[in-house]
Amino acid sequence: MTGRIAEICSCLTPARVFADVGCDHGYMTRYMLKNNLCGRAYITDIHAGSLEKAKILLKDEVEAGRCIPVLCDGLDGVKEPCDLVLIAGLGGEEIVKILSRVPLPARFVLQPMKNSGKLRAYLVERGAKILSDRTFEDGKFYDLIVGEGQGGDDYSDFEIKYGRDNLRTPSAAFLRFLEKEKGKLRARLARRGMRRESRDEMRAKLYELEVITDAIEGTL
């Protein structure tokens, strides 16, 4: 199990019906079933080859009827409500599209690969309550958002952009993420031939990241 997968699994809680959307290898569902954390699990994937991998890994559970493979887009082919939905390794916009077509699940664990801000804004707009929203590191940096479909929440613009827990209870991983982002911006600013507007935009972004770094550095 990779560090990323272990980190995601640590957020998975007991459920009656679990769904692993974009399951690919199926490792997270194996964790749920092996640890008896759910009554049954749906594994869905839009690509037959990916779903096949999970079906092989979970062959015994599929045969026993505890794991139900569905070849579909998002949750479209899942015909019962799932009280815990995991969507990991997809883009934030894709996750928004998937969730837009279903009632928000009682609990969700989301690990977007990009556009986390768009996903946060969507969840808050839709009335979700965010329980945990932080960046972790496993070679690369990943955002991990855990929440409930109901309860409502209030996010500032900065929290939408950077993740609430990263700002309220910062971690060393988030600080390293900021340093990496600042390094990338400095390297780009050092290049010649950039449009003035782009340069100004990058300077403003670098300044924003420096302000955040200064604000959280003392807390670590």
Ligand X SMILES: C[S@@+](CC[C@H](N)C(=O)[O-])C[C@H]1O[C@@H](n2cnc3c(N)ncnc32)[C@H](O)[C@@H]1O
- Candidates 11, 43, 98, 109; binder of ligand X (CB under 6 A) is 98
C-beta closer to ligand X: residue 20 or 159 = 20
73 near ligand X, rule: CB under 6 A: yes
Figure out which of the listed residues 38, 41, 45, 163 binds ligand X, where binding follows CB under 6 A.
Answer: 45
Tokens at 57, concatenated = 């890994």
- Does the protein bind ligand X through residue 90 (CB under 6 A)? yes
Burial of 7-22, coded b for 16+ CB within 10 Å and e otherwise, reads bbbebbeebebbbbbb
For 56, residues 6+ apart whose C-beta sits below 8 A from its C-beta are none
Among 163, 201, 197, 171, smallest CA distance to 185 is for 201
Please identify which residue in 11, 84, 88, 185 interacts with ligand X, judged by CB under 6 A.
Answer: 88
Among residues 22, 69, 147, 170, the one that binds ligand X under rule CB under 6 A = 22
Stretch of 42-50, 101-109, 116-124, 193-201 contacting ligand X, by CB under 6 A: 42-50
- 3-state helix, strand and coil shares in percent for the chain, rounded to the nearest 5: 45, 20, 30
Euclidean distance between CA atoms 147 and 165, whole angstroms:
13
Closer CB to ligand X, residue 42 or residue 155? 42
Please give the size of the binding site for ligand X, defined by CB under 6 A. Answer: 16
In degrees, to the nearest 5, what angle opens at C-alpha 113 toward C-alphas 38 and 176?
Answer: 110
Quick check: 165 binds ligand X (CB under 6 A)? no
Cβ closest to ligand X, residue 46 vs residue 209? 46
Contact string (CB under 6 A) for ligand X, positions 133-162, x = contact:
------------------------------
Cβ atoms of 82 and 42 closer than 8 Å: yes
Residue (of 92, 95, 99, 133) closest to 115 by Cα position: 92
Helix (H, G, I), strand (E, B) or coil at 107: strand
Among 57, 62, 89, 123, binds ligand X (CB under 6 A): 89
Residue 74 binds ligand X (CB under 6 A): yes
Contacts to ligand X by CB under 6 A: 21-24, 44-47, 50, 73-74, 88-90, 94, 98
